[in-house]
Amino acid sequence: MEYIGAIGLFLFVLFLLLGTGVWVGLALMGVAWVGMEVFTSRPAGDAMITTVWTASSSWTLTALPLFIWMGEILYRTRLSAELFKGLAPWMAPLPGGLLHTNVAGCTVFAAVSGSSVATLTTVGKMSLPELAARGYPERMTIGSLAGAATLGLLIPPSLILIVYGVSINESITKLFLAGILPGLVLAVMFMAYVAIWSRVRRDLMPPPEPPTSLASKLASARYLIPVILLIILVIGSMYVGIATATEAAAFGVVGSLVLATAQRTLTWRNFADSLMGATRTSAMIALILAGAAFLSLSMGFTGLPRALAAWIGELGLSRVELLLALLVFYIILGCFLDGISAVVLTMAVIEPMIRAAGIDPIWFGVFIVVVVEMAQITPPVGFNLFVLQGMTGRSIGYIAYAALPMFMIMVLMVFILIAWPELATWLPQRMSVRAG
């Protein structure tokens, strides 16, 4: 192909910059600047200033720091302890016992955090010592937690879905709704695996928990009421159409501040720490998005995305074959890049490709997030692996091996999405009908 030289130049500069430790956002800008200088006559500096400002001042992007701040506030509350108290009596009678608190706790917290790492840390700091004290097998405890924490990327409010929506100019609200059912199905699949494993390996399971009366279970459920109300406030306001994603994020911040105040955990120190944590994370993601926008402009001038889309079209790949090729591509990419970087780095090329193939971009957003979830638990660059290493003292290899079954379940989830795309498209379509 005549564009092989351009591809080679882009990749060489990118890996050179990343290899020298340059931030991902600045590396993307560097690649774009080289592309503008080599392939166009337009002044690179002028183009960069205009594009970076436009990308950074997007109104849609305002949802991002608000959702991050909401998660930061909740991370500093007693939510993890109360989640365990509320879920344990209901999970104990199930096959697998309290191992299910990892999955159920991550599912609940994912619905108010948007971050895989925040979900992992919040649930893990309570469940890991509790399950260890009760004699649950460490490998299964770590594996189920590592896998379930990735639900923070899929169940709304998902930071990666916001980044994806901004990158391709799609509705954040529709993307959020598209992630609900697949996220719940994936959580059920994790719990089914835990149940089956516990039946097969009864010798490794501790004695069952003492029976709990229905009255005690209902009493413990009061610990879940605040977070459930917060979920209803954030997700429900978008579903019924009374709030956009940005407005729902603002509701979520107010709700999380009220919850933290009610728990008496909102101090000036916690408030300032949450604000600074949200600022750092938001600035990092905004810089990556700005770099990706400039790279998209640069690549657009070369004609590379259109050429690659045309080339893929000439190969005559079916929809399933194209998706399987992208599955392998993103799994490999995820071994070396975090999820957000992988998404923004590739969208300039992938977006025209999937649109040319007739693939629904809302559905593809869910597909790509499920695949990117796998990157959280694949070495050498798996954020969940690093977090769990710090929490447990175990090696990356041990944790990755423990999470391998969850990785395979995510691969199965990809095939389920391909076979039944309505799983991701039904709720957004229903919202459109209601709006109409």
Question: pLDDT tens across 171-227, in order?
Answer: 888 898 899 999 999 999 999 999 999 988 888 888 877 777 778 888 887 888 888
When mean pLDDT is compared over 53-57, 189-193, 390-394, 423-427, the highest value belongs to 189-193
Question: Residue 413: what pLDDT?
Answer: 93
Q: Please count the residues of the chain.
A: 436
Report the run of H or E that residue 217 belongs to, with start and end: helix 214-220
Smallest CA-to-CA distance from 232 within 106, 151, 111, 65 is with 111
Task: Give the confidence band of 53 by pLDDT, cuts at 50, 70, 90.
Answer: confident
Lowest mean pLDDT among 86-100, 292-306, 321-335, 362-376: 292-306
CA distances from 110 to 47, 107, 119, 126, 144 (A): 38, 5, 6, 16, 15
Q: Is the pLDDT of residue 374 over 70?
A: yes
Q: Is the pLDDT of residue 2 over 70?
A: no
| pLDDT above 70 coverage of the chain, percent | 92
Q: Is the pLDDT of residue 433 over 60?
A: no
Q: What is the mean pLDDT of residues 374-390?
A: 77
Q: What is the pLDDT of residues 212-267, one digit of tens each?
A: 777 888 888 788 888 888 888 888 887 777 888 788 888 888 988 888 888 888 88
* Residue labelled with tokens 């799994």: 331
Question: Residue 189: what pLDDT?
Answer: 95
| pLDDT above 90 coverage of the chain, percent | 11
Task: Give the confidence band of 305 by pLDDT, cuts at 50, 70, 90.
Answer: low
User: What are the boundaries of each domain within the chain?
Assistant: 22-435
Distance from the Cα of residue 161 to its chain's centroid: 7
Contact 249, 237 (CB under 8 A): no
Distance from the Cα of residue 105 to its chain's centroid: 16
Question: Residue 309: what pLDDT?
Answer: 62
Q: What is the pLDDT of residues 289-303, one digit of tens each?
A: 788 778 777 777 776
Q: For all residues of the chain together, what is the average pLDDT?
A: 82
Task: Give the confidence band of 364 by pLDDT, cuts at 50, 70, 90.
Answer: very high
Q: What is the pLDDT of residues 119-151, one digit of tens each?
A: 887 788 778 888 888 888 989 999 999 888 888
DSSP 381: S
Q: Is the pLDDT of residue 436 over 50?
A: no
Q: Is the pLDDT of residue 431 over 80?
A: no
Give dist(CA 302, CA 6) in Å, integer.
8
Question: Residue 297: what pLDDT?
Answer: 77
Question: Residue 405: what pLDDT?
Answer: 92
When mean pLDDT is compared over 266-280, 337-351, 383-397, 403-417, the highest value belongs to 403-417
When mean pLDDT is compared over 48-52, 90-94, 103-107, 118-122, the highest value belongs to 103-107
CA distances from 107 to 39, 87, 113, 115, 149 (A): 47, 11, 10, 12, 8
Q: What is the mean pLDDT of residues 82-96?
A: 83
Q: What is the pLDDT of residues 307-318, one digit of tens each?
A: 666 666 677 778
Q: Calculate the dihedral angle through the C-alpha atoms of 120, 368, 423, 70, rounding to the nearest 10 degrees.
A: 40
Question: Residue 283: what pLDDT?
Answer: 82
Task: Give the confidence band of 412 by pLDDT, cuts at 50, 70, 90.
Answer: very high
Contact 176, 161 (CB under 8 A): yes
Smallest CA-to-CA distance from 159 within 127, 198, 117 is with 117
What type of residue sits at position 87?
L
Task: Give the confidence band of 156 by pLDDT, cuts at 50, 70, 90.
Answer: confident
Long-range pairs, 250-255, Cβ under 8 A, ≥24: 250/66, 252/66, 252/67, 252/70, 252/112, 252/157, 253/66, 253/69, 253/70, 253/73, 255/70, 255/229, 255/230
What type of residue sits at position 118?
A
When mean pLDDT is compared over 21-25, 35-39, 278-282, 359-363, the highest value belongs to 359-363
What type of residue sits at position 274?
S
